[in-house]
Every structure is written in C-alpha cells, then in structure tokens.
Structure 1
C-alpha cells in the first residue's frame, strides 16, 4: 500500500455547473465551496497531512470583473467563517502565490495563516493568484540573487511550496486533461487522476475511490 501524504486538487467546473444547473456561474462557485468542506473532513479522516487546492490562478484575472469580485468576496467570507474553526480542528492554512489583493483580503489571509501556524493535523495550501511559471521565475531570480549553486535542493528553497512535500496525487475535475500552470515542478512524479465530473458533482465516494486506486498503484520513480 502506497503511503499518502499530500493530495492536490484542481477544482474545475464550478462555472459550467452553475450555468447548467442555476443559470449562474457565480452560484456554481458557491456550490463548489460546499464540496471543499467535506473533502477537508474526509482528508482528515484519512490522516492525510497536506491538501493543496487551486482556488485562483494568475490567469483568472482575465475573467469578467463581476465574477472576480464574487470569487474574492466568497474567499473573504470563507476566511471569516473558517479561521476560528480551523484553529479548533488543528488545521493549518498556508497561502501559496502572491498576495496581490485588496488590503482587507490580504489582512484576512495573513491573519488566518498566523492564527493557524502551529496547527498539525492537516495543512491546507490555498493556491491564490498562483501560477507555476511565475513561481519558477521567482525561484530563478532568488537563487541568482543569492548566488547559490543551482541544484534541486537550493532551487526548491525558493518555491512557494518550500518545506511542503510534493503531491502524491493530483485530482482534476471538469473533464479537461491538462495541468493549467499548476505545480509544474512539484507534480513530476505525482499520480494524476482526471475526472469527468464538474467540481460541484464530485463527492466523497469519488474521493475514496481515487485514494484506493492510488494505494494499489505500483510506483517506480524511474526504477523497474
């Protein structure tokens, strides 16, 4: 049985689900947030230590302003409601990406990280304003500035995921078989599961099936 320490998820399909079921992309995002809730709880039950969620990419700024504003307001509400709960449940929140939002939202993000920094049961890495190519350029600039030897160990010190183990699993919902500029370095040896369901339709049984399949996979890492 393969040990499972880190699950990463591209939560794709909220907008399409919303148009199909509610005639509103925004309502799809609200439904998607409900799925996040029970995925977090199931991750804890399975004693998985790291969960990385792709919440807002550097490319998402291209979306209509009304949708961006709705997403950021949804994030504010989530942080206000969950920061105290995370502390009680021993959940640590870590933001990966660049905090280039409003002063109010940046403050909420920083406070949530600070309040939960000593928690141990589960670390949730929330990828916000995140793009892997941007992350790699960031690392190259810093390692060059420090004039350190260019090797894997030094390079990884300057990634946004410093001190976070690489994902064992990547799950992408939404019926698109691509990585969309997400954790390109870190996913080198991850087992990837592309799911046809849109994110709001993804359920606990789907999650459990993926975990079960992963544990049965023979992982060679270049060996025989």
Structure 2
C-alpha cells in the first residue's frame, strides 16, 4: 500500500481526466474544520459550516469526474465524546443540511445513504435519514454514503456478534464463512470497497474509518484543511491514484 502527501500548487489548473483510471469508490476523511476556525479566531461551528460548503464542492467534483461511489466520514463514534455544545452544533448543522440540501442532491441524481450507528441519534434525526434515503433511492448518478456515528472497530465487532448469533441460531455454517460472507454483515453490505481513501489536514491516520473495507485502498494525504478543499484537490488525488500500480498483494509483472 502506497502513501503520498500532496500540496496543491497555487493556481494550478484542474487536470484532464479523459485518459486516467478513475476509482470506482472514493472515501474521504474530512479533517481540519476546528483548526481552520482557530486560525481565523472563529468559533468551531464556523469551521463546521465552512466544511459543509466543502462537502458540496466534493460531491460536485465526484460527479464531474464520474466517480460512482463517494463516502464521507462526517461524524465518528468517538465524536460523541466532544463537548456537549459542539455535539449539539454538529447535529444541528447535519439536520439543517439534510433539510436544505436534499432537493439539490435529488436534482443532481445523487443517492444518499447513511452508514453507522444511526440509533444513537434522536428520533427526529433518524426520520430525516429515512426521508433522505427514501426520496433519493432511485438516483444513479452518484452513490453518496455519509458515515455518521461510525467507527471501523465497532463495525467489525457488530458484524462479529451478528455472525455469532447466526451460527447459534443455525442460520450460518461457520465452515462456509469467508471474507465475502463476512462483508455482508458490515454497514457497507452491497457497497464496493473504496479504491481511494483521501484524508485532509496533513494528518497520517485512518482514524478508525472503514478498517476492513480499506484493506487495499490507495491512500492519499492532502496538506489542506477541509474547509479549503476544492475540485483541484479532488483532481490531484485522482491523478495520484491513476499513477499507482494496484497489485492487491501480487508480485509485480
């Protein structure tokens, strides 16, 4: 697995995409909202609001580059440990986004799905999730997964418990269990594994995101805070991906 850190040259044009290999599924760890706000002496909520604008740019870039699947790490299971005021701000911003951006996502042909422990949100928020998924269910231009209250370890643990229960109840023969079967018990059942994982803010961590699914993902770390993320950064990450030789453990030819 190769790792590359990128910085965006000022004023660089968006690269042409016609001849390059485009990943089927891009996953993004959106990091840096707090530092962006602190650098401007603004409250953290201002950083999260600016980050929501970057989400719009990222979705548009995915559509323009004909990426079929996009997963955004919006709220981790560990984020519940943040100060109560910040958690309230984050969930309120999420509710506002779902209510005010859904029509535009639908017009753009985006299918929205939520992965993670949605039951940890209040009933009103869960209804918003269900409404957004129902309205966009028939869209095919872009499959957008938003990871909320998601953690890779808890995803694997949850799947393991479900498998143990299936074996106990006689619904699953453990001798027949393989990686494909295991994947059906994860939140991402039916979703292809990410080909490319991008993290912003210059940090070099997966932060408990899609640990099982990212086993063979190409990793790109960008030296840009999430609120400053734009289509050129997305294109640079795709160019880096296109230059990689993906061998999936096989010896080079």
**Structure having greater relative contact order (Cα 8 Å, sep ≥ 6):** 2
Match of 2:124 in 1: 104
2:144 corresponds to 1:117 = no
Q: How many residues align?
A: 224
Q: Give unpaired runs (5+ residues) of structure 1.
A: none
- Structure 1: distance between partners of 2:245 and 2:65: 20
**Residue 87 of structure 1 is aligned with which of 100, 103, 106?**
106
Match of 1:20 in 2: 39
Contact 1:143 1:154 in 2 (8 A): no
Per the alignment, in what secondary structure is the counterpart of residue 77 of structure 1?
Answer: helix
Match of 1:208 in 2: 235
Which stretches of structure 1, 4 residues or longer, exceed 3 Å deviation after superposition? Answer: none
The alpha-carbon deviation at position 201 of structure 1 amounts to 1.7
Contact 2:22 2:67 in 1 (8 A): no
- Structure 2: distance between partners of 1:85 and 1:203: 19
Contact 1:22 1:28 in 2 (8 A): no
The alpha-carbon deviation at position 3 of structure 1 amounts to 4.0
Match of 2:15 in 1: none
1:48-73: CA deviations, max 9, x gaps?
A: 11000000001001111111111101
- Structure 2: distance between partners of 1:88 and 1:36: 16
What is the TM-score of this pair, normalised by structure 1?
A: 0.97
2:163 corresponds to 1:134 = no
1:196-221: CA deviations, max 9, x gaps?
A: 21111222111111111211211111
- Structure 1: distance between partners of 2:228 and 2:107: 28
- Structure 2: distance between partners of 1:3 and 1:51: 12
Q: Give unpaired runs (5+ residues) of structure 2.
A: 1-19
Match runs of 1:19-168 below 5 Å: 19-99=38-118, 100-147=120-167, 148=172, 149=174, 150-168=177-195
Report the structure number with the largest CA radius of gyration: 2
Q: CA RMSD, aligned part only? A: 1.1
The alpha-carbon deviation at position 40 of structure 1 amounts to 0.5
Contact 2:25 2:68 in 1 (8 A): yes
